Structure 1
Amino acid sequence: MGTSNHNQSNIPHLILPKDSSYNIMSPEHVSPPPYNTRPPQVDFYTRPLTTTALEGDELDDSTISPLTLRINTSINILKNNNLICLSDSPANHATAIADAVTQAIQKHSSGNCGIPMIDGNGNPRPVRIDIDAGMVTDGVGNVVGSESIVLEVLRQRGDMKRQRESPAAPSRFVDESSKRRRSHS
């Protein structure tokens, strides 16, 4: 008996019941692993710190991941007799959009827990903003302009329509020479 006691370890053994519903992984049957006071040893590979400065032509989009925004605010005017009122020129709209996007990027940069403005290597991230603010007009009688221009065109078209509907009414568009002939006769 002395030999059998000497060969047995001091680790308690778990004896499982023969019942098949017993789950060894249930929380009441699992004990935590033994704790170790020493931190785990980890081998780190260190490489020398190097910095590469890219200048001018060396700086291309393939080495640094760019932030690219494409905004399409183009206007396509199709068919005839359209009236399009613009508050400003397409070029000024594009400039306003670019300014708003730039301010939004600055406001929500990584310094403010937003868009990361450096790549994985710490290089500044280039920002490219493409804005299509072009205008295509296909048709006849289309008018593009400010509110005052569009209102004037509407007024003139209304006058012409009324003139066509009542041909006996005097016209505002009769030239001065024909007025003089009528008054002298």
Structure 2
Amino acid sequence: MLGEHQKRLLLEIFENLPGISFLILARALEDQRLAGWVGAILAVCVCGLYARKILRPQPILLGINLFMVVITPLIELLALSGYRGAANVLIGNIDTLVLTSIFLIGVFLTCFSTKGFLTYETQCRKKTHLHSGLLLALCAVGIVWSLIVGQNDLISLVLPLMLLFEAQRFLRAAASDQQSHSHALLAGTVPLDTTAETLA
């Protein structure tokens, strides 16, 4: 029987599957259409877990998974409707569009969510906006980077995503350290109850 931590780990792995499966299949099979549909189906499953509140969305992965749900059907619809040129433009800018989706989700969460674009609590709303703003700025830089470096997805997409995830982890560690420090200072100011002490 799986414990709670094991279940959570499996859910987190599953949340990563749509994007990872797309990258692996697109490179291994050189078939973006198949990779896109596999990613889209997995993303629909993940979003179903979001909707049922079985899985709490990781903000960056939420942007990726919502993008995966929309992009492949949209490209297929454009192609079938005779707008092959527009479909090709989307295909040629997938990396930039993924990062743009993450950015827009981040802006929405920062404006309307308690935690903002973060996976952790901060000491105040101002700090939440600061950390979210830093991540959004990094994401914006990633969008510009993806436009400059071209279509090598390892450089134009994977690298910015790695930096974004690591920046989020770094800010979370900083917030945790600051909270621990504040708790330690608070504990040091609590007076001892000398009346409760007894002599041996």
TM range (shorter): under 0.3
Please tell me whether Structure 1 or Structure 2 has the larger radius of gyration of its CA atoms.
1
Which structure dedicates a bigger proportion of its chain to helix?
A: 2
Asked which structure has the greater RCO (Cα within 8 Å, sep 6+), the reply is 1
TM-score w.r.t. the length of structure 2 is 0.22
TM-score w.r.t. the length of structure 1 is 0.23
